[in-house]
């Protein structure tokens, strides 16, 4: 009885632990998510839906390689007839030998090149998506600073309104001046509200990019981009670096290799089959004669198909050449805009410092009754314009630096891991056959090769 009770007690404890773990509350997500360039990159690469869709295409390309590899494996056809009697007897056996067909090997190689191209496409999607998200983040930072400028304008107008209110109460100014100042304050408050509305929409866009639930609050850290050594290099040097690291060119190389391989597949397409057959000669004998057979099909469309393949390859080579010209145009325009943005930031800072002094001087004169309301409002508007231009120039400068870093894959973009899926297996017939009959040899999973991989 004691042993029975011990077993019952042990069972109850195990059941209690199981039930507790089954109904345990899920891990709580942080109530507040802080977004800055680093956290934006991490969350985006792990959670963005469009990137997950792109990664799914890599998985599809990988399965296409497996299908092409499987098509090289031998298959057996069994022919059977009903013999005179109650039993079945196999009369013929035919083994298809697809690995003897050169076109099948080229098809496998083509699918592998296309897999590499698709993996590079995923890497390009990561870079471009992060670049777009980074630009949106910088826009949010700029709008937050713009809101501060407009709110400062509102407080300035409110201060002027309060001064006029005291003057009207003392009988020193007219009611019309107070109404004019109050209207300016109200217009400034409307501008602040408009930027608040814009910030809400931008926050919703960031939430969508990061796939965050509505229960999580988003807070933005205000971080600007810093100057890099790349900005100081000549345009041609930057282009050479960009070309050497360009995933777009790497993708085109894979596409060209796939097209070349597809051409050779068509070149051997006239060989359409090979098989090994064995037949049974008598009721009591084993399989006797063994025969090898093959089929050849050469039609009038054979040579035009090869010529069409050449044209397709030439088109891909032209597209690869165009990528370099596109990058050169983008680098030249980005460097020009970056230089002008730097100049605009410096000028706006100087203008802001000067107009701040002018505004404070006009306010002091207004307090002393040495100037009118028009001059004070004019100084306040000029100060707001200078601050707004400074914010816009800084946002434009940040965006140009992000574009340049994306072109040369520098700074934070260098921390986005590329998808490395090429095998390291040995070459030659032995190595190729080994990878066909042992697909897992020298191979990593796509989760290991293309999963979120960032360098800290």
- Give backbone dihedrals phi and psi of 95, rounded to 5 degrees, phi first: -110, 115
Q: Return the higher-pLDDT residue of 302 and 363.
A: 363
Average of pLDDT values for 216-227?
Answer: 93
Q: Please report where in the chains the tokens 């890497």 appear, as a residue.
A: 123
Task: Check: CB of residue 106 under 8 Å from CB of residue 261.
Answer: yes
State how far the Cα of 107 lies from the Cα of 118, in Å rounded to an integer. Answer: 16
Confidence at 102, pLDDT banded by 50, 70, 90 = low
Distances in whole angstroms, Cα of residue 387 to Cα of each of 83, 152, 255, 282, 326: 98, 10, 50, 101, 35
Average of pLDDT values for 372-376?
Answer: 88
State how far the Cα of 40 lies from the Cα of 437, in Å rounded to an integer. Answer: 43
Whole-number pLDDT of residue 56: 78
Whole-number pLDDT of residue 71: 56
Q: Summarize pLDDT for 307-336 with one digit per residue, the tens.
A: 666 778 888 889 999 999 999 999 999 999
Q: Summarize pLDDT for 226-259 with one digit per residue, the tens.
A: 998 999 999 999 999 999 999 999 988 888 888 7
**Residue 373 above 70 pLDDT?**
yes
**Residue 136 above 70 pLDDT?**
yes
Q: Summarize pLDDT for 12-45 with one digit per residue, the tens.
A: 444 444 434 444 444 566 789 999 999 999 999 8
Whole-number pLDDT of residue 115: 80
**Residue 442 above 80 pLDDT?**
no
State how far the Cα of 333 lies from the Cα of 326, in Å rounded to an integer. Answer: 11
State how far the Cα of 192 lies from the Cα of 204, in Å rounded to an integer. Answer: 19
**Residue 154 above 50 pLDDT?**
yes
Whole-number pLDDT of residue 57: 72
Other Cβ atoms less than 10 A from the Cβ of 275: the count is 18
The answer to which of 15-29, 113-127, 164-178, 186-200 has the lowest mean pLDDT is 15-29
Its pTM stands at: 0.73
Structural domains in the chain, sorted by start: 29-83+90-422 (1.20.1600.10)
Residue among 303, 328, 309 at smallest CA distance from 249: 328
């Amino acid at each position: 009885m004691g042993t029975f009770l011990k077993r019952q007690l042990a069972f109850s404890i195990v059941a209690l632990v199981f039930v507790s773990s089954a109904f345990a509350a899920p891990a709580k997500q942080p109530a507040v998510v802080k977004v800055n360039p680093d956290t934006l990159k991490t969350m985006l690469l792990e959670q963005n839906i469009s990137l997950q869709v792109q990664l799914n295409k890599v998985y599809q390309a990988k399965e296409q390689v497996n299908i092409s590899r499987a098509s090289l494996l031998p298959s057996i056809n069994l022919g059977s007839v009903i013999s005179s009697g109650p039993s079945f007897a196999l009369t013929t056996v035919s083994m298809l030998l697809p690995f003897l067909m050169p076109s099948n090997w080229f098809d496998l190689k083509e699918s592998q090149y296309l897999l590499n191209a698709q993996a590079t496409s995923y890497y390009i999607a990561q870079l471009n998506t992060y670049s777009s998200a980074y630009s949106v983040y910088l826009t949010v930072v700029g709008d937050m600073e713009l809101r501060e400028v407009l709110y400062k304008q509102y407080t300035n107008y409110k201060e002027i309104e309060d001064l006029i209110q005291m003057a009207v109460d003392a009988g020193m100014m007219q009611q019309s001046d107070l109404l004019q100042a109050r209207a300016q304050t109200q217009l400034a408050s409307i501008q602040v509200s408009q930027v608040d509305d814009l910030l809400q929409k931008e926050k919703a866009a960031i939430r969508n990019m990061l796939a965050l639930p509505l229960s999580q609050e988003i807070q933005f850290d205000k971080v600007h981009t810093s100057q890099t050594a790349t900005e100081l290099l000549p345009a041609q040097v930057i282009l050479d670096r960009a070309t050497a690291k360009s995933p777009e060119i790497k993708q085109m190389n894979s596409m060209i290799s796939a097209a070349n391989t597809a051409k050779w597949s068509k070149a051997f397409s006239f060989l359409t089959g090979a098989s090994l057959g064995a037949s049974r000669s008598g009721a009591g004998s084993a399989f006797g004669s063994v025969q090898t057979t093959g089929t050849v099909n050469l039609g009038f469309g054979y040579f035009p198909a090869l010529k069409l393949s050449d044209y397709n390859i030439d088109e891909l080579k032209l597209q690869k050449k165009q990528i370099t010209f596109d990058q050169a145009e983008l680098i030249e325009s980005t460097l020009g805009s970056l230089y002008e943005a730097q100049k605009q930031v410096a000028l706006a800072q100087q203008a802001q410092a000067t107009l701040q002094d002018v505004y404070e001087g006009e306010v002091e004169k207004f307090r002393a009754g040495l100037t009118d309301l028009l001059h004070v409002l004019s100084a306040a508007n000029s100060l707001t314009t200078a601050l707004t231009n400074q914010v816009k120039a800084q946002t434009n400068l940040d965006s140009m630096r992000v574009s340049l870093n994306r072109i040369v894959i520098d700074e934070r973009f260098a921390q986005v891991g590329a998808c490395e899926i090429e095998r390291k297996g040995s070459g030659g017939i032995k190595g190729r056959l080994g990878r066909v009959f042992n697909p897992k040899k020298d191979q990593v999973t796509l989760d290991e090769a293309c999963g979120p991989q960032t360098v800290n």
